[in-house]
Amino acid sequence: MLKAILDFILPPHCSVCSNLLASKEKAVCENCFNSISVIVPPFCERCGSPGDAVCNDCILHPHKFTRARAIGKYTDILRDLVLLFKYRRKISIGRKLGTLLGKIIQNDELLAKADAIIPVPLYPVAKRVRGYNQSEILCTEISTLTNIPTITGVLLQKRPTKPQKSIGSPESSLDEQREKRKLNVKDAFKVKKNERVKGKKLILVDDVCTTGATLDECAGELYNAGASDVYAAVVARAV
Ligand SMILES: [Zn+2]
Ligand SMILES: [Zn+2]
């Protein structure tokens, strides 16, 4: 009732283009959401960046995860949507992004066969401050669409880390940033209840992948705990 009155006095607008929202739309209009530039083949078979076969970056700096997929690049509308979801509490945008990522997983020959998905964890204090872990919201939608179950409470963050995008000045070289980001997340994660991941093919889920250091660190822990294969699925890739 209160929402109906509020919607009448202050009709909801699209958080991106400011146009009035239709009754079924939440936070973002269909027009804006459908303008996301989705990565289509060909893309690197390891990291999922646009290009052929295995990209140079993956040859020079091999990842621990065997394959990663992303909706698109961390630019334009996709960047706006991630920021609204992560820092402005627009959970409904996260749900839509989760469904879109779920479709990408469903159509990927390897990821579609995974046994479970695992959200990249937040340090408990960081989660309390934000009120939610954005990766867990993505996982809920992915599981609903794909029927691949989500495993939570197994991969944990055991010490605080800085946001990866804040590491390394924009002028520093990519190699320098890569090293600093690796150090930022080194030994920051642990797996408890190894038996829940042992022998399983897993998909790590996160919002943004920068150099892949966080995903590599988490993948390493899951392999140590006995996972048979670790893939990754992210909303956006920064490089
Ligand atoms: Zn819009
Ligand atoms: Zn690559």
For the stretch 7-47, pLDDT in tens is: 777 789 999 999 999 989 999 999 999 999 999 999 999 99
Residue 5 phi/psi, 5-degree rounding, is: -65, -45
CA 135 to ligand 2 centroid distance, Å:
22
Sign of CA dihedral 121, 123, 124, 125: negative
Q: What spacing in Å lies between the alpha carbon of 139 and ligand 2's midpoint? A: 24
Distance from Cα 46 to the centre of ligand 2, integer Å: 5
Please give the domain boundaries of the chain with CATH numbers for all domains.
1-35 (no CATH), 38-237 (3.40.50.2020)
Backbone angles phi, psi at 151, to 5 degrees: -110, 115
Cα 137 to Cα 79, 127, 158: the distances in Å are 17, 12, 21
Token pair in block for residue 83: 């920021």
Whether residue 74 has pLDDT greater than 90: yes
Q: Give 82 Cα–ligand 1 centroid separation in angstroms.
A: 14
**pLDDT of 170 strictly over 80:** no
- pLDDT band of 169, cuts 50, 70, 90: confident
CA distance 178 to 181: 5
Q: 88 C-alpha vs ligand 2 centroid, how far in Å?
A: 31
- Point out the ligand nearest to the CA of residue 29: 1
Residue 227 Cα to ligand 2 midpoint, Å, equals 22
84 alpha carbon – ligand 2 mean position (Å): 28
Q: Phi/psi of residue 73, each to 5°?
A: -85, 155
Confidence of residue 177 (pLDDT cuts 50, 70, 90): confident
Q: 31 CA distance to ligand 2 centroid (A)? A: 31
The structure's pTM equals: 0.93
How far does the centroid of ligand 1 lie from the alpha carbon of residue 35, in Å? 9
Distance 192 CA to ligand 2 centre (A): 30
Residues 6+ apart with CB under 8 A from 38: 71, 72, 100, 104
Residue 184 has pLDDT above 80, yes or no: yes
Measured in angstroms, how far is the CA atom of residue 17 from the centroid of ligand 1?
Answer: 4
Token reading at 46:
């390891």
Q: Which ligand is nearest to the CA of 84?
A: 1
Q: What is the pLDDT of residue 78?
A: 97
- Distance, CA 83 to ligand 1 centroid (Å)? 15
Give the distance (Å) from ligand 2 centre to CA of residue 165. 19
